[in-house]
């Protein structure tokens, strides 16, 4: 009996000590303290300093666009559809548009020459030749037609020719720019109506503006021309930019649980997933696309999405955090 009592007493003492230990605060080990302090990321401590990056990019881009305008009279490298030229369509599935492009570029080195396939149900039905030779330049136009006939073995009746004069191309350009400005204006109105606060709304609009400006500057430096398809891609960029910026602003301003930094990280996880999947899809489309129009669109979207990462998660996030800290929210 005594032995049983001793065993029972020891079990009781062990249970009592376990309960007492569970109620006492756990002492942190030195490495645990270091781990908790390391959660203060570089971004969290230096977000104001990091704001220099997007603002410097914006200033440099504006300077580059200004230089481009002073040198060429246009703030972008206009494609044929925006500055005028000659387009020749030939219905013959056996023509190699790449060889024809190389031959025409060698013949007219000072002109912009593009060729692409004309497809019907996924199969090549012919080719389209675009040249920056204006219809006003009759001599060059006749030389182009003669060279195309020589390369393709076709006659006038086999060629469908369209010309866009400089005035008409300029009219197209003004109309597309008007469409971009109207889209930007209505986007700003909707953002202001949604947030009903100047600083968050202005931060979203600034991020979208920076995306467009920096992307155009990169295209200019790379020598990539922009046609009507490129303008459509810039319109799409406005939508992508506003999408991620509104996601960030809504998570930070509308939600109250957690700190501003924690809400920013939560929004970043979702936003980076969205942008990452889009970048992968666009990159694959760029690799497999054979149409010059599709390649132009995908190229501009890829550049714009990368620029959007900086403007959303450094610029906009930093402005919003500074704004809330000024209001007293941590």
Q: Are 54 and 203 in contact (CB under 8 A)?
A: no
- 17 pLDDT band, cuts 50/70/90, is low
Asked which of 133, 164, 195 is the last residue of a domain, the reply is 164
Q: Are 62 and 213 in contact (CB under 8 A)?
A: yes
Tell me the average pLDDT of the chain. Answer: 82
Q: What pLDDT digit, counting tens, does each position of 171-219 carry?
A: 878 888 888 889 889 988 988 988 888 999 999 999 999 999 999 999 9
Query: What confidence score (pLDDT) does residue 63 get?
Result: 96
Task: Assess whether 197 and 285 both reside in one domain.
Answer: yes
Task: Assess whether 189 and 255 both reside in one domain.
Answer: yes
Q: How many CA atoms lie within 13 A of 288 on its CB side?
A: 6
Task: Assess whether 58 and 143 both reside in one domain.
Answer: no
Mean of the pLDDT values across residues 117-143?
82
pTM of the predicted model as reported, rounded to 2 decimal places:
0.76
pLDDT at 237 over 50: yes
- 28 pLDDT band, cuts 50/70/90, is very low
Query: Domain containing 124 — which CATH number?
Result: 3.30.70
Task: Assess whether 149 and 290 both reside in one domain.
Answer: no
Q: What pLDDT digit, counting tens, does each position of 265-304 carry?
A: 889 999 999 999 999 999 998 888 767 778 889 999 999 9
Q: What is the 3-state secondary structure (H, E, C) of the chain?
A: CHHHHHHHHHHHHHHHHHHHHHHCCCCCCHHHHHHHHCCCCHHHHHHHHHCHHHHHHHHHHHHHHHHHHHHHCCCCCECHHHHCEEEEEECCCCCCHHHHHHHHHHHCCCCCEEEEEEEECCEEEEEEEEECCCCCCHHHHHHHHHHHHHHHCCCHHHEEEEEECHHHHHHHHHHHHHHHHHHHHHHHHHHHHHHCCHHHHHHHHHHHHHHHHHHHHHHHHHCCCECHHHHHHHHHHHHHHHHHHHHHHHHHHHCCCCCHHHHHHHHHHHHHHHHHHHHHHHHHHHHHCCCHHHHHHHHHHHHHHHHHHHHHHHHHHHHHHHHHHHCCCC
Q: What pLDDT digit, counting tens, does each position of 59-85 carry?
A: 999 999 999 999 888 888 888 778 888
How far is 124 from 113, CA to CA, in rounded Å? 20
Query: What confidence score (pLDDT) does residue 273 get?
Result: 93
Selected residue with higher pLDDT from 122 and 329: 122
Q: Which domain holds residue 270?
A: 46-77+168-326
Query: What confidence score (pLDDT) does residue 209 get?
Result: 93
Q: Is residue 35 part of a domain?
A: no
Task: Assess whether 151 and 288 both reside in one domain.
Answer: no
- How many domains does one find in the chain? 2
Query: What confidence score (pLDDT) does residue 291 get?
Result: 72
Selected residue with higher pLDDT from 44 and 153: 153
């Amino acid at each position: 009996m005594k032995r049983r009592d001793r065993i029972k007493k020891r079990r009781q003492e062990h249970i009592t000590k376990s309960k007492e230990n569970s109620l006492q605060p756990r002492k942190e080990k030195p490495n645990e303290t270091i781990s908790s302090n390391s959660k203060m990321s570089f971004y969290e401590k230096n977000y104001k300093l990091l704001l220099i990056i997007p603002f410097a990019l914006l200033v440099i881009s504006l300077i580059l666009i200004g230089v481009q305008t002073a040198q060429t009279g246009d703030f972008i490298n206009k494609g044929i559809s925006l500055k005028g030229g000659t387009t020749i369509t030939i219905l013959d599935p056996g023509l190699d548009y790449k060889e024809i492009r190389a031959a025409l570029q060698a013949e007219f080195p000072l002109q912009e020459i593009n060729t692409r396939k004309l497809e019907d149900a996924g199969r090549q039905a012919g080719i389209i030749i675009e040249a920056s030779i204006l219809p006003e330049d009759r001599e060059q136009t006749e030389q182009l037609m003669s060279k195309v006939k020589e390369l393709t073995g076709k006659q006038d009746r086999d060629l469908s020719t369209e010309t866009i004069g400089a005035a008409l191309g300029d009219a197209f350009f003004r109309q597309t720019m008007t469409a971009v400005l109207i889209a930007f204006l209505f986007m700003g109105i909707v953002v202001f109506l949604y947030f009903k606060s100047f600083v968050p709304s202005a931060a979203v609009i600034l991020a979208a503006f920076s995306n467009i400006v920096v992307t155009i500057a990169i295209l200019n430096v790379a020598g990539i021309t922009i046609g009507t398809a490129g303008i459509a891609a810039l319109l799409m960029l406005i939508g992508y930019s506003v999408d991620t910026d509104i996601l960030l602003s809504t998570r930070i301003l509308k939600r109250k649980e957690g700190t501003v930094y924690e809400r920013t990280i939560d929004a970043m996880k979702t936003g980076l997933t969205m942008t990452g999947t889009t970048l992968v899809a666009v990159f694959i489309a760029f690799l497999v696309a054979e149409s010059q129009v599709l390649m132009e669109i995908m190229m501009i979207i890829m550049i714009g999405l990368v620029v959007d990462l900086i403007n959303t998660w450094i610029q906009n996030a930093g402005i919003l955090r500074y704004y809330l800290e000024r209001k007293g929210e941590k």
